[in-house]
Structure 1
Amino acid sequence: MYYIGFDIGSSSVKVAIVDAATGENLAAVHEPENEMEINAIHSDWAEQNPDTWWKYACIASKRAIKESKIDASKITGIGISYQMHGLVVVDKQGTPLRDSIIWCDSRAVNIGNDAFNGIGKDICADKLLNSPGNFTASKLKWVLDNEKETYDKIYKYMLPGDYIAFKLTGVFNTTKNGLSEGILWDYESDSVADFLLNYYGIDPSLTPDIVENFSDQGAVNTEGSEASGIPVGATVNYRAGDQPNNALSLNVFNHGEVAATGGTSGVIYAVTNSKKSKESSRINNFAHVNYAKDNQILGKLMCINGSGIQYRWMKDNLAANSYEEMNNKAGEVPVGSDGLVVIPFGNGAERILNNKNVGSQYCNLNFNKHSDGHMYRAALEGIAFSFVYGMDILKNDNAVINVIRAGNDNLFRSEIFSNTVATLIGHEIEIYNTTGSVGAARAAGLTDGDFKKFGDNITQNDHVMTYMPLKNKAPYEQAYNNWKTELEILLKNK
Structure 2
Amino acid sequence: MKYVMGIDLGTSGVKAILVDEDGKVCGEATKPYRLIQDKPGYCEQNPEEWVEQTVAAMKELMARQPVLSKKVGGISFSGQMHGLVLLNESREVLRPAILWNDTRTTAQCIHITNKLGERLHQITKNQALEGFTLPKLLWVKEHEPEIDQQINMFLLPKDYVRFRLTGSVHIDYSDAAGTLLLNIGDRAWSEEICQVFDIPFHICPPLVSSEDEVGTLLPHIAREAGIEEGAKVFAGGADNACGAIGAGILSSGRTLCSIGTSGVILSYEEDHERALQGNLHLFHHAKKDALYTMGVTLSAGYSLNWVKHLLSPEESFQSLLEGAVDVAPGANGLLFTPYLVGERTPHADSIIRGSLIGLDSRHERAHVVRAVLEGITFSLNESIALFRQAGKHIDSIVSIGGGARSRTWLQMQADIFQAEVIQLDNEQGPALGAAMLAAVGCGWYPSLEACADQFIHQAGVYEPEQKHANLYADLFHLYQQIYTQTRDIHAGLAQYRSI
Q: So what's the TM-score if we normalise by structure 1?
A: 0.88
Q: 1:88 to 1:280 in 2, by over 3 A?
A: farther
Identity of aligned residues (%): 23
Q: 1:413 to 1:212 in 2, by over 3 A?
A: closer
Secondary structure of the residue that 1:261 maps to in structure 2?
strand
Is 1:233 paired with 2:225? no
Q: 1:226 to 1:353 in 2, by over 3 A?
A: same
How many equivalent residue pairs?
A: 480
Per the alignment, residue 370 of structure 2 pairs with 377
Q: Which of 462, 465, 471 in structure 2 is aligned with 1:467?
A: 462
Secondary structure of the residue that 1:4 maps to in structure 2?
strand
Q: Describe how 1:236-275 pairs up with structure 2 within 5 A.
A: 236-275=233-272
Q: CA deviation digits over 1:409-468, x for unaligned, max 9?
A: 5133333432233134332111122223233123201235512212212333xx321111
Give the Å deviation of 1:356.
6.6
Q: Which of 282, 293, 308 in structure 2 is aligned with 1:285?
A: 282
Q: 1:335 to 1:285 in 2, by over 3 A?
A: same
Secondary structure of the residue that 1:218 maps to in structure 2?
strand
Q: Which of 330, 338, 345 in structure 2 is aligned with 1:336?
A: 330
Q: Describe how 1:54-453 pairs up with structure 2 within 5 A.
A: 54-120=51-117, 122-134=118-130, 135-276=132-273, 279=276, 282-292=279-289, 297-318=290-311, 321-338=315-332, 340-351=333-344, 352-355=346-349, 357=351, 359-367=353-361, 370-407=363-400, 409-432=401-424, 433-435=426-428, 436-447=430-441, 450-453=447-450
Per the alignment, residue 15 of structure 1 pairs with 16
- Code of the residue aligned with 2:188 in structure 1: it is S
- Code of the residue aligned with 1:15 in structure 2: it is A
Q: 1:40 to 1:482 in 2, by over 3 A?
A: closer
Q: CA deviation digits over 1:346-365, x for unaligned, max 9?
A: 41321223417554433344
Give the Å deviation of 1:309.
3.9
Give the Å deviation of 1:328.
4.2
- CA distance in 1 between counterparts of 2:366 and 2:145 reads 56
- Given that residues 113 and 131 in structure 1 are in contact (C-alpha distance below 8 angstroms), is that contact kept between their aligned partners in structure 2? no
Q: 1:488 to 1:61 in 2, by over 3 A?
A: same
- Given that residues 26 and 68 in structure 1 are in contact (C-alpha distance below 8 angstroms), is that contact kept between their aligned partners in structure 2? no
- CA distance in 2 between counterparts of 1:231 and 1:455 reads 27
Secondary structure of the residue that 1:114 maps to in structure 2?
helix
Per the alignment, residue 480 of structure 1 pairs with 476
Query: Structure 1 unaligned runs (5+)?
Result: none
Per the alignment, residue 29 of structure 1 pairs with 29
Secondary structure of the residue that 1:116 maps to in structure 2?
helix
Secondary structure of the residue that 1:353 maps to in structure 2?
coil
- Given that residues 181 and 190 in structure 2 are in contact (C-alpha distance below 8 angstroms), is that contact kept between their aligned partners in structure 1? yes
- CA distance in 2 between counterparts of 1:40 and 1:419 reads 35
Q: 1:167 to 1:281 in 2, by over 3 A?
A: farther
Give the Å deviation of 1:55.
0.9
- CA distance in 2 between counterparts of 1:155 and 1:488 reads 43
- Code of the residue aligned with 2:68 in structure 1: it is D
Give the Å deviation of 1:381.
2.6
- CA distance in 1 between counterparts of 2:357 and 2:26 reads 48
- Code of the residue aligned with 2:162 in structure 1: it is A
- Over the residues paired in the alignment, what is the CA RMSD in angstroms? 2.7
Give the Å deviation of 1:186.
0.4
Give the Å deviation of 1:222.
2.0
- Code of the residue aligned with 1:382 in structure 2: it is G
Give the Å deviation of 1:77.
0.6
Query: Structure 2 unaligned runs (5+)?
Result: 491-499
Once the two structures are overlaid, the 10-residue window that deviates more, 132-141 or 172-181, is: 132-141
Secondary structure of the residue that 2:67 maps to in structure 1?
coil
- CA distance in 2 between counterparts of 1:115 and 1:393 reads 25
Q: 1:45 to 1:384 in 2, by over 3 A?
A: closer
- Given that residues 129 and 277 in structure 1 are in contact (C-alpha distance below 8 angstroms), is that contact kept between their aligned partners in structure 2? no
- CA distance in 2 between counterparts of 1:354 and 1:89 reads 26
Q: CA deviation digits over 1:97-125, x for unaligned, max 9?
A: 322222222333322331122112x2111
Per the alignment, residue 495 of structure 2 pairs with none
Q: CA deviation digits over 1:165-196, x for unaligned, max 9?
A: 21222122222222112122102333211211
- Code of the residue aligned with 1:437 in structure 2: it is A
- CA distance in 1 between counterparts of 2:351 and 2:139 reads 25
- Given that residues 243 and 432 in structure 2 are in contact (C-alpha distance below 8 angstroms), is that contact kept between their aligned partners in structure 1? no
- Code of the residue aligned with 1:29 in structure 2: it is A
Secondary structure of the residue that 2:214 maps to in structure 1?
coil
Q: 1:72 to 1:484 in 2, by over 3 A?
A: same
- Given that residues 4 and 438 in structure 2 are in contact (C-alpha distance below 8 angstroms), is that contact kept between their aligned partners in structure 1? yes
- Code of the residue aligned with 1:12 in structure 2: it is G
Q: So what's the TM-score if we normalise by structure 2?
A: 0.87
Q: CA deviation digits over 1:267-310, x for unaligned, max 9?
A: 22222223245557722221111142xxxx32222221343344
- CA distance in 2 between counterparts of 1:317 and 1:154 reads 41
Give the Å deviation of 1:16.
1.2
- CA distance in 2 between counterparts of 1:423 and 1:92 reads 53
- Given that residues 66 and 226 in structure 2 are in contact (C-alpha distance below 8 angstroms), is that contact kept between their aligned partners in structure 1? no
Q: 1:207 to 1:383 in 2, by over 3 A?
A: closer
Q: CA deviation digits over 1:346-396, x for unaligned, max 9?
A: 41321223417554433344546x554444433333332222223112333
- CA distance in 1 between counterparts of 2:187 and 2:309 reads 48
